[in-house]
């Protein structure tokens, strides 16, 4: 499967949460770590159409590392059970 995002959507491979904190504390799997807030852009849609019918440029490209709003993503898994997120370009907060 090679999904292609539409409009101003972006597909992101989320960065996995650390299993051990910097101070050496091991986090159990049962702990709710929340959703990832950083990841790498895998694919980018063509851009949103403005009122005159022209495509607006996207703010990121494939390979960029980004930070995004915590609860603004939709999740899906590919055939290899790898997790990906779909997010609107507007919900990306920063390129890292």
Strand order of the sheet with strand 74-77? 74-77, 83-88, 9-14, 38-44, 65-68, 92-95
Where on the phi/psi map is residue 47: left (φ > 0), alpha (ψ -120 to 50), or beta?
left
Mean pLDDT of the chain: 86
pTM: 0.79
Q: Which domains can be identified in the chain, with CATH numbers?
A: 9-16+34-95 (2.30.33.40)
Task: Check residue 10 and report its DSSP letter.
Answer: E
Instruction: Note the pLDDT tens digit of each residue in 14-59.
Output: 987 666 677 777 766 555 555 568 999 999 999 999 999 999 999 9
């Amino acid at each position: 499967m090679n999904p292609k995002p539409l409009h101003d959507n972006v597909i992101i491979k989320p960065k996995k949460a650390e299993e051990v904190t910097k101070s050496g504390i091991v986090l159990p799997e049962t702990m709710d770590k929340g959703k990832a807030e950083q990841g790498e852009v895998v694919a980018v849609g063509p851009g949103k159409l403005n009122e005159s019918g022209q495509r607006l440029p996207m703010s990121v490209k494939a390979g960029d590392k980004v930070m995004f709003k915590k609860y603004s993503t939709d999740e899906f898994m590919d055939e290899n059970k790898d997790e990906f997120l779909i997010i609107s370009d507007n919900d990306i907060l920063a390129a890292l």
